[in-house]
């Protein structure tokens, strides 16, 4: 159950991160990191790895976008 919740949180964070790739909307990635972090914690509690992997990828994409856009990391 926690893995499914982690996957859902990761999908929502991924959609927000995809929106944050648009120029002048990079600030949205600041909201992605804590949301995906919550999903990562739920994924760590569960037994399966899919939620963990998805949330780590979303966090990495958000961090790369923030670093390219000049946001503080």
| pLDDT tens track for 3-43 | 999 999 999 999 999 998 888 888 889 999 999 999 999 99
Measured CA to CA, the distance from residue 64 to residue 4 in angstroms comes to 26
Expressed in percent and rounded to 5, the helix, strand and coil fractions of the chain are 80, 0, 20
Total structural domains within the chain: 1
Give the whole-angstrom CA distance, residue 48 versus residue 14. 19
pLDDT, one tens digit per residue, over 35-71 is: 999 999 999 999 899 999 999 999 999 999 998 887 6
- pTM to 2 decimals? 0.90
**pLDDT score at 4:** 94
Residue range of the domain that includes 6: 2-69
């Amino acid at each position: 159950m926690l893995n499914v919740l982690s996957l859902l949180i990761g999908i929502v964070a991924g959609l927000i991160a995809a929106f944050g790739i648009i120029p002048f909307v990079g600030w949205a990635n600041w909201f992605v990191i804590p949301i995906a972090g919550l999903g990562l914690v739920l994924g760590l509690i569960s037994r399966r790895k899919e939620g963990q992997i998805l949330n780590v990828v979303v966090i990495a994409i958000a961090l790369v976008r923030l670093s390219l856009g000049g946001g503080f990391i």
